Amino acid sequence: MKTMCKYNQRPILFLWLVLFLSLTKDSLHAEILQHKGGLYTFSLGGAAEFEYVSPDSDDAFAFTDGDARVTHVKRPQSFRIDKITLMPKLSIDHWIHFNGEIEAFTDRTDIDQMFFREAYLLLDLTKDISLKLGSDDRFFSPEFFSSLPLPDEDKRVTEAYPLLGVSFWEDEDLGLWLEGTHTLSERWAVFWNGALTNGPTFDHDEVTRAHMYPIFAFDRDLTNVNFDTNDFKDISLGFGTSFQLIKNISKIKFLAFGTYSKLTGFDIDFLVQTLPGYSSRSTINQFWGGNGEFTWNVFNLMGQYIHSQQGNLVREGYYVQPTLTWQFKMRELRMVQVVSRYNALWTSNRGGYSTKTSASPFTWDRSTYSFGLNFGFYNAVLFKNEYHFNDEETASIPKHVNNNEFISQLEIRF
């Protein structure tokens, strides 16, 4: 459960000091610290994110779901420091790499206030194959798949995640990854991924920023930082290809993926407590899907489809996301991006509980229309503005609730 609480200010103040020391005129184009030795290079960068959030506040269904971890909270308009991040990077002899991402939040639980969001060791075994050990994003997320000419952390393009992102790949996982990319010709390449990880906890999360009408989500388990070889693991496989239709102008890319694991007793109890009438003790936990992308100059069209089953709960959904990204060589204005996205997520069952009920927002069908306008300045400032029209089928009257949301975020990198 992500509850609101007064946060420990010491880690935030420490990171603010780092930010203050780094925001000089020259630092707009460099990390805080960079050192190159004979066999290694080290750098330390970071970011601070400031947000204005304006959600619709609707309590038409003040649901009681039986699980104390799930809350329905009306959040008013607010300006806040969303998070501050430090990103250390170390490379040794060009084939051993360490990447970390330390985040401090302003409105999270004691566990969530400051933690390693990402921390992994990457070994380039050959020029085509690499091995990764640690905590990182799932390989079917846009950070790894998208061809947008942006840093990995910007390839999601909106601050709010797609519905499929919230449900399946927003949070990191801990384990082992083996991945390869093989160039077959000047224009054609194939790639593959394999992962053996702890698997995230089956939990819940808000659709955007307001803690209202949550959906099922795979959540990181910050208390489990060990890769226990005695437990059954989450197994994921992916195979893809990319082809340049017109060299350096147009490209298509596809990825098919699947993952299989087992629900824990904790996960099953959560299903029983949040789905009225649910009683199955099935441990099935699997999903499969695909990513697709088409790029033509400044235009990018990306989509994803996922079909999943957790116990007797079946979900499927997709999103389609066209973007236009213009990059400039001016010192001040470096990028302008126009974003739109349509998301849909449906729930069904294989018997044993009511499919749709206003008493549980986890049973609702969801869709979201998102529109965004982003600006990049100085290679160090990203200004995002986005509006999300959230729609749902509640199986009751009213059939829809007021939970749209506007988000404006200023991110400063150092």
What's the whole-model pTM score? 0.86
Q: Which residues of the chain have pLDDT under 50?
A: 1-12, 14-16, 18-19, 22-30, 64-66, 108-111
Q: Is residue 119 part of a domain?
A: no
When divided into structural domains, the chain yields a total of 1
Question: What is residue 194's predicted lDDT score, i.e. its pLDDT?
Answer: 96
Q: Is residue 88 part of a domain?
A: no
Identify the residue whose tokens are 């061809």: 147
Question: What is residue 357's predicted lDDT score, i.e. its pLDDT?
Answer: 75
Question: What is residue 356's predicted lDDT score, i.e. its pLDDT?
Answer: 75
Q: Is residue 336 part of a domain?
A: yes
Are 194 and 344 in contact by the 8 Å Cβ rule? The answer is no
Question: What is residue 65's predicted lDDT score, i.e. its pLDDT?
Answer: 46
Q: Is residue 102 part of a domain?
A: no
Question: What is residue 75's predicted lDDT score, i.e. its pLDDT?
Answer: 60
Q: Is residue 129 part of a domain?
A: no
Q: Is residue 217 part of a domain?
A: yes
Long-range contacts of 69-76 (CB under 8 A, 24+ apart): 69/1, 69/203, 69/204, 69/270, 70/1, 70/204, 70/214, 70/274, 71/1, 71/3, 71/211, 72/211, 72/212, 72/213, 73/4, 73/210, 73/211, 73/212, 74/210, 74/212, 75/209, 75/210, 75/211, 75/212
Identify the CATH number of the domain in which residue 301 sits.
Answer: 2.40.160
Q: Is residue 356 part of a domain?
A: yes
Question: What is residue 8's predicted lDDT score, i.e. its pLDDT?
Answer: 44
Domain range holding 235? 48-83+135-413
Q: Is residue 118 part of a domain?
A: no
